Amino acid sequence: MKNLMSQLVALSSYIGLTVGELYKPKNSILCSTNKPCPPEWPCCSPYNECGAGPICVGGCNVRSSFDEESCAPLPALVANLKLEFSSTPKAPKFVANYQPRPPIKEENGPNKANTKVGVVEGELNSKRIIHYAKFLVTTDNNEAEKMLEDFDFTHSGYTSIEASSGNIVLAMPKKTTGSLISSTRSFLYGKASVRMKTARSRGVVTAFDLISAIGDEIDFEWLGSDLMMTQLNYYSQGHLDYTRMQKYPVGADTWATYHTYEIDWDPDRIKWYVDGKIARTVLKKDTWDPINKEYRYPQTPMRLEVAVWPGGSEANGPGTINWAGGLIDWENSPDIIKKGEFTAYVEQITVTPYQNRFTEQVQLCLKGKKKAPTISQKDLSKVVVSYKRQDRKIHYDEESLQWDCFVTPKINDWLSSGKQSKVLQQ
């Protein structure tokens, strides 16, 4: 996959929200391991831009933020829990309190799907999806706990629910930067499955990936000009090695028909599946880097993401545009003429986490703080994971992680960070 974090830096913003100015500086500040964010904008986004508030939640890049405490702890998806989206999931109980404040406006013109923002947001909420700029941004510990209970995914861009099917629509209207959904919880090893239709047309890219806060990544990617093929790749710590990408023939048009794509990831190997058939296997032992003396293998907690984005945007570099199949035809592409936007459709998502070396430690934490010999499903949902203080230049791996329980992560407001916000420990 052409790594989203690096490819979208040239764009004004992947999410494209004018309200983003409230939690990002007026003049963009880029961040990297060599140039971490300043204390006034302490959190580094997945797109290498500094900010605060929502930027400090979920995909906050610990290695490039002001310090490890700038990012809020990650809500964890642990063994014996499961994350799912389907066309008819259980509706959250707390919907009324999550209407956008203020109304969200896209910077690149009117969005047909979001004409009635409150209605669309309510529909997304009913599917356990909340706008990313609202998730865990609250001064109320109880509200943060309810968000963790009620929502499995965040969204940004031109996301909506298809009325006829209940499926997620990821849209990219003319001259915009697309749409994204992300799981609210991260997991360390497991199986992730998405059943979907991809977007089509030259330069339009659809992606399903697992990505960690420090740049580990495993992905599927589809080019809108090559609808019979998918691309498979993985990255370690943001180290972009495109030579490892492999193509796999899907066997039928990915825009016209639904297919099931699956990533099976454990400490020793990664497997990619298409409609139940193995497409690729990578073994950790084969990723050893003898020069840096480390495995170039994803081994930090991942979130699931599904996105549509403009690889063929004029704002991207020549390499990205060529890889994406060329410049997007924003005027004459069939879907632009017919409905004014490119679209992908997500029918089902399932994430099943595996047990890992921390499973026993997590259970002991839950039993100890609960002061009871047994733990419930609800107890398991109160686990978080964060990163220990260490030299940013050192390779991050399982040893870099610290786990805790009965913690409610949150950010007080759009100018706060994880360091400024106290977590609730019961």
Q: Is the separation of the CB atoms in 112 and 385 below 8 Å? A: no
314 catalytic residue (yes or no):
no
Contact present, 338 and 158 (Cβ < 8 Å): no
With H, G, I as helix, E, B as strand and everything else as coil, classify residue 186.
Answer: strand
Among candidate residues 217, 262, 305, 347, the one labeled active-site is 217
Could you tell me if 227 and 208 are in contact, meaning their C-beta atoms sit under 8 angstroms apart? no
Please report the sign of the dihedral spanned by the C-alpha atoms of residue 175, residue 126, residue 220, residue 185.
Answer: positive
Close Cβ partners of 384 (under 8 Å, ≥ 6 residues apart): 73, 74, 75, 76, 403, 404, 405, 407, 409
Bridge partner residues of 270 (DSSP): 265, 282
Instruction: Report the C-alpha gap between 253 and 197 in whole angstroms.
Output: 9
Active site residue 305: no
Per-residue pLDDT of the chain (426 residues; tens, 9 = 90+): 444 434 433 333 333 344 445 899 999 999 998 999 999 999 999 889 999 999 999 899 999 999 989 999 999 999 999 999 997 755 555 444 444 333 333 333 333 444 456 788 999 999 999 999 999 999 999 999 999 999 999 999 999 999 999 999 999 999 999 999 999 999 999 999 999 999 999 999 999 999 999 999 999 999 999 999 999 999 998 887 878 999 999 989 999 999 999 999 999 999 999 999 999 999 999 999 999 899 999 999 999 999 999 999 999 999 999 999 999 999 999 999 999 999 999 999 999 999 999 999 999 999 999 999 999 999 999 999 999 988 877 889 999 999 999 999 999 999 999 887 754 444
pTM above 0.85, yes or no: yes
H-only helix segments in 294-421 = 318-323, 334-339, 359-370, 377-380
Cα 326 to the center of its chain, rounded Å: 26
Q: Which of 221, 262, 341, 347 is catalytic?
A: 221
Residue 246 near residue 258 (C-beta atoms within 8 A): no
Q: Which residues on neighbouring strands pair with residue 212, listed in sequence order?
A: 302
Task: Identify the structural domains of the chain with CATH numbers, from first to last.
Answer: 4-75+386-425 (no CATH), 83-353 (2.60.120.200)
Q: Which amino acid is at 85?
A: F
